[in-house]
Structure 1
Amino acid sequence: MLKRTTHYQFQPYGSILYDLSEVAEQHADYQQNALKLTAKSFSHVYSSNEPCYIQCKSGIVLMAVSKDGDTFENFVIHRIVKTNPETFFNFISISDDAEIDICYRKSNLEIHPAAHEVTFSPMVTNLHIHEILTTFYQVRKEDYVFPGEAHSYYELVYIDHGSMEMDVDGKAYSLSKYDLMLYYPGQFHSHYTKHDQTCSYLTVIFKMDDTLADSLCNRVFHTRKDIYQVLCSFMKAVQTEDYLNQELAILYLKEVIILLHQFDHKEEVDAGINPMQQHYEHTLLNEILVYINNNICSAFTVEDLCIKFSVSRSSLQNLFRTNLHISPKQYISNLKLNHAKLLIQEHNRTISEISDMLGFTSIHYFSRKFKKQYGLSPTDYSKSIHP
């Protein structure tokens, strides 16, 4: 899932603005260029030792960003992006075409060859099931024999109850309850039940425009709960005549094949965090961080955040420590102190004004926190950058 530039993980690379007034006020010598984008890859990157400002004017644009010019993270441009100095970046049009405006100081914008070509891979299907030719559910008693056949289609066999013996291209297989096997086009297959065996099984014969991986061939899968549930949904879809249920059946068959592709590492994935819960936590954390950043010059407490976002203090603590490895109180303090450094560098306000502006309870408390964080008092730091 792609993240937007408003996501908290974009913060090492830049920040978000809602208008370009800052450029006009602080960077009168900046120039603005419109870039039209169509490419899905790039082999060079931009960087500047001063902020650049990027705004998407049309289409959907992916911004690739890096701190070393080698390893890139991707974000969809949302709002106006202000890059941090020394950030490497370039753009890819996710839509067929797109346009951005970029504001920069021409003398400071550099172009470098990328360490490797960066390519955007769109979300497209790699499984094209052209047609489900037939599907049927059968019950076989003891000593049943199917002499065998070979055809030019894929065939899925799922054992619902009992067991069955199979022969595929001269190799014998024994399938029991919940086992599944795929026959590939051209494979000769036969099956039978022994004198003490009965079997109920589902057969699906289908045509694909693609070739399935060899890793699924000549293999018996003992299906887990997730595959079983999809097969149940498949059976329900093929047995009713509701509008577009045939489309549903094809989608469920696709899902079964995808789960078979993921079979060998799926158990490890399932043992982890629920993906919906993880997405909820990331979204909530992002909203909280955006609020903190947008209100950095206001006085608020951790309790205020808990009330605003309807979370308990312990849940908020766990959210920050799990994802950012820091407490919310320390995160707010670090952010305010970092912003204080930037304000001191501008040399437009007194230390007392900056302390009040950032919501510190007193200038003495601000000075003590600043010195603990950076090893210098705010006054000494101001002198060190403006001798």
Structure 2
Amino acid sequence: MLRARLESPGLMDLLGQIEASLNPTATHPPLAGVTEHLGPDRHVVLWLIDGFATRYRRHTPLMGADHVTDLETVFPSTTATAITSILTGRHPAQHGLLGWHTRLAAAERTLTVLMGQERDGEDRAATLGYRELTGRVQPDRLSDRLGCAMTCIGPEWIGGTPYNRMMNRGADFIGFEELSELPARVAAHVNATPGPHFTYVYWSELDHLGHQYGPESPEVERHLKQLDLAYTATCAQIQRPESVFLTTADHGMRTMERRLDLREHPAIQACLRHRLTGEPRAALAHVQDGRDREFLAAMHATFGDDVTVMPAADWLDHGTLGPGPAHPELRQRAGDYLLLPAEDAYLVDPPADDDGPHFRGAHGGLSAEERHIPLFLRSPAHSG
């Protein structure tokens, strides 16, 4: 059985606090170190640094001065699920996006939501436009419930993507190219915009470096030092007294040593209704009717203790995806078995026209390295 939470507080407690401060109809229990800085007149800025693991704090001493607490992200601990939770203010059980790939039962498609792509029953790929993607997801947006306007600030390339347009509908978008531009963009916007207002800032490069080089690499350490300086520069330039500058992450990262490729094991693939969905560190298997025993035997013979195979009832019914009300397709999307690779391994099942990911660092699973993230807070009204 999986526990729904390793420890408290969680990322969704932070989002609950933000919504409760800006939505007069919402309530949420207090979050120590945060609640006292929020209020209905605040300009709340949330900087999401993709892949900022808690242990990275040792490389960011300037940010460390504003450290409030460590949070635990949602499960699966991955961008597609966690950012959707942030931008909806809903737990994964409610929004139903369960990783990089999510099986849509009614449409009989496998959706790669961040890429705005899907594959049909014949494994043929198609690109979705904004309206098609919105129809597939039907998000309950946080921005629609706030009693104020919202702005999104991020790399220029994400501004027009179907996912960004879908999740931030109605919000202004401010783009930039390099991390060095972020402090001035954020500060100029905040200084010119009185509260109440919600600004969501996104940066993805740290996650890319962690995947490519590993979380303990010199490349990651160097970028963390750049982020430390960018954070300090942003704080120094924000002058609006009612602003609250929150910084956190969507997930952590851990080192990977082994790549387990399901294409090398046709006996397992033959039992599946379609390719694995979910995440390489938390894969979801949809098994053909009547082939469960064959599937379990093949998994054990192939992977032994390297992959834990957990029936849906042993994890889905215990709040691992957060509280409900559950998405109407949640059970079908979750499949029949959750596959959890060993701590140093990840499991892939890419299509014939794609070699799939090759990681030196990965996330999505249940370990502390993947789930624990820091929270930093700077408020001009309470600083110094």
Q: TM-score, normalised by structure 2?
A: 0.24
Q: Where is the strand percentage greater, Structure 1 or Structure 2? A: 1
Task: Flag the structure with more relative contact order, 1 or 2, with Cα contacts below 8 A and sequence separation at least 6.
Answer: 2
